[in-house]
Amino acid sequence: MCDDVLPKDPVTKPSTPIHRRTQRQRVRERFADPSRRPGLLVAFEGPDGSGKTTQRKLFKTWLKSEGYDVVTTKWNSSALIKPLIKSRKSIRALSAEEFSLLHAADFRHRVEQHILPALWNGKLVIADRFLFTGLARDVARGLDLDWVLKLYQPLLWPDLVFYFSVSPVTSGRRVGAVRTPNYYEAGQDVTNVNDPVESYHRFITRVISEYESLALIFNFITIDAEQSIGDQHHHIRALFRDGERRPWSQWNMDAITEWLAQREGRP
């Protein structure tokens, strides 16, 4: 990760109101400056088997051909936290709360180590799953949405969220064609159904229901993932062209300011 353009402020002292104001001003200048290409965060969301990884790869190839500096981040991929989760999943040791908390920790670590530094340096970040995956799955496991949302604060909102919509039947058919869903993927920790395929169908039905609610609440761009791969890709290109021209919003100010303060040793 290129850190050399991350500015240091050798004059201002730690944790003063003036310093916090200065940081917020720097964030504003960084992301709202019309003379430079801003960092952009694009999230691909949807249930397993919705084809979002295929679309993410096609989208990345196209963006690079258009001259964008692209970084990809995937769900549950932090080098620090992923091994902790993997070892506990393998022995089926996680409760719904622990599952939720550990995935939130993984997400936070990636936000601070990869996503925000890339955005600060003007890169385009494609997230193959974002915090909405945690929300949909955790709520499908029976946790309270407000409780789960707090784990992800301060919230970092993508500039665009593409939601790949498929039916539970399609999701189950596509996943079943290549593998048997594993214990947590099938939601067997909460369905108490022994057959992973049957459990998956029940669990993914709940997950998709939560996704549909989140799509309305958070204004996702819904892609009909039952369409052909080519049609979806061209649709995404057109939607991206419209979306990237949106002005930078203040929504992410708290998350970026906190990260900046940490990076400079000023909590």
> Residue 155 interacts with another protein (CB under 8 A)?
no
CA separation for the pair 67, 54 (Å, rounded): 20
In Å, what is the CA distance from 210 to each residue of 72, 141, 156, 176? 25, 11, 20, 22
Which residue, 132 or 162, is less far from another protein as judged by CB?
132
Please identify, among the stretches 3-11, 72-80, 161-169, 200-208, the one whose residues bind another protein according to the rule CB under 8 A.
Answer: 72-80
Question: How many residues lie near another protein (CB under 8 A)?
Answer: 27
Please identify, among the stretches 2-10, 23-31, 75-83, 206-214, the one whose residues bind another protein according to the rule CB under 8 A.
Answer: 75-83
Q: Where are the beta strands (DSSP E) in the chain?
A: 40-45, 70-74, 124-128, 160-165, 221-224
Which residue, 150 or 173, is less far from another protein as judged by CB?
150
> Residue 98 interacts with another protein (CB under 8 A)?
yes
Which residue, 66 or 98, is less far from another protein as judged by CB?
98
CA separation for the pair 174, 170 (Å, rounded): 6
CA separation for the pair 167, 9 (Å, rounded): 51
Nearest to 171 by CA among 74, 55, 46: 46
- Determine contact, residues 151/143, Cβ cutoff 8 Å: no
> Residue 80 interacts with another protein (CB under 8 A)?
yes
CB atoms within 10 A of CB 239: 14
Chain positions 105 to 124 lying near another protein, rule: CB under 8 A, are 105, 108-109, 112-113
> Residue 144 interacts with another protein (CB under 8 A)?
yes
Give the footprint of another protein on this chain (CB under 8 A): 78-81, 83-84, 87, 95, 97-98, 101-102, 104-105, 108-109, 112-113, 143-144, 147, 150-151, 153, 258, 262, 267
